[in-house]
């Protein structure tokens, strides 16, 4: 493991420890993860971009169990021929390719993707992906991911929530904000974490590892 990866791993473990301590002091608290632009890829589309038989190469584990940032990256190209380079692919592979960008990214690319939950791609924006071995033109597949909170069934029971509930969450800090329409996503292996994109994170002046508090169901 090189020095940069080692520092990232130590930071991740320290933040996880601090988050556990905070949760013990305030049961409504949860950590925040900031999602930068990224791509979820299907096995077939990965072969188009990286060549036949290519498989994702894990670079580092993400906070959610079983998910990882891959070494593979692509370029995103919009209709104005503007390019966002070195956009990370996240693994494991999925059934369908999905591109997630912020609203700021979308404006730069010249597209207008809808705000959607992950996997809801019907009628989403077209986008072109360029890899070292090929180009993939998607007629739809680019979204701005909605605000959401991952939680396990036991967390959901503790908060009195269920999958797909909409809640209000207060992000704590010097520029703290209350976010509405935050989707609850419940799964057995989910770890408690709120996901915001870079625009929302910048608006509230936070980075990954910040704290938030669930206020309750959307009013």
Nearest to residue 150, comparing CAs of 7, 19, 31, 11? 31
pLDDT category of residue 21 using cuts at 50, 70 and 90: low
Rounded Cα distance, 211 and 77, in Å:
34
- Domain ranges (residues) in the chain: 26-34+147-217, 36-145
- pTM reported for the whole predicted model: 0.87
95-142, pLDDT tens digit by residue?
Answer: 999 999 999 999 999 999 999 999 999 999 999 999 999 999 999 999
**Residue 37, pLDDT score:** 98
CB 70 within 8 A of CB 59: yes
Backbone angles phi, psi at 187, to 5 degrees: -155, 150
Average pLDDT over residues 4-13: 59
CA angle 190, 193, 195 (to 5 degrees): 110
Q: Which fold has domain 26-34+147-217?
A: Barwin-like endoglucanases (2.40.40)
pLDDT tens profile 204-215: 999 999 999 999
């Amino acid at each position: 493991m090189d020095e940069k990866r080692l520092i990232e791993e130590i930071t991740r473990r320290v933040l996880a420890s601090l988050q556990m301590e905070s949760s013990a002091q305030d049961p409504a608290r949860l950590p925040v993860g900031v999602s930068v632009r990224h791509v979820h890829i299907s096995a077939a589309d990965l072969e188009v971009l990286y060549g036949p038989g290519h498989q994702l190469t894990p670079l580092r584990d993400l906070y959610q169990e079983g998910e990882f940032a891959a070494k593979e990256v692509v370029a995103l190209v919009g209709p104005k021929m503007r390019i966002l380079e070195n956009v990370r692919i996240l693994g494991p592979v999925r059934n369908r390719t999905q591109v997630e960008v912020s609203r700021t990214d979308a404006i730069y690319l010249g597209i207008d993707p809808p705000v959607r939950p992950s996997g809801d791609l019907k009628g989403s924006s077209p986008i072109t992906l360029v890899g070292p071995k090929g180009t993939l033109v998607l007629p739809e597949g680019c979204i701005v991911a909605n605000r959401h909170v991952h939680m396990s069934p036991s967390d959901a029971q503790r908060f009195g929530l269920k999958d797909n509930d909409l809640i209000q969450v207060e992000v704590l800090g010097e520029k703290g904000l209350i976010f509405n329409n935050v989707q609850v996503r419940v799964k057995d292996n989910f770890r408690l974490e709120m996901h915001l994109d870079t625009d929302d994170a910048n608006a509230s002046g936070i980075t990954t590892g910040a704290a938030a508090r669930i206020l309750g169901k959307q009013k």
